Amino acid sequence: MMPLHRPGRFPHLKHGRTVNMSNEAPWLLHLDEKTYDEALVAAEGVMMVDFWAEWCGPCRAVGPILEDLARTSSGTVTLAKVNVDENPGLAARYGIRSIPTILFVKDGKVQDQLIGAVPKPQIQAKLNAVSSK
């Protein structure tokens, strides 16, 4: 099986700390139960946490929208993806019962959430609202 991620460092994290996780781009993190808490606290700006699964059609539909919003944010938005099949403890911690669920995190705290494959303007509106808090 081909690896999904390549090793990387995250220069956008606070205080120059480095979190040893894999990533495909500086705005995209793939988190698990071991790396989640530190990444949440260390991230600057807004982090969208996408709880998803490979078999989930709506997750595959909203994924590219989230990636586009993070990629074009000029470093102000980070997208963190959490596979609920591989990390059921994280899903349980946040009461995730439907996927996709997107948590909007700022300053290490969940500020808002969206459930389901919602249109890009609705996601952008949530990002704008959380960013201005």
Active site residues: 56, 59
Q: Give the whole-angstrom CA distance, residue 47 versus residue 60.
A: 19
Q: Which of 51-85 are b and which e, b meaning 16 or more Cβ less than 10 Å from the residue's Cβ?
A: bbeeebeebeebbebbbebbeebeeebbbbbbbbe
CA gap 129, 133 in Å, rounded = 7
The residue among 128, 123, 3, 4 whose CA lies nearest residue 66 is 123
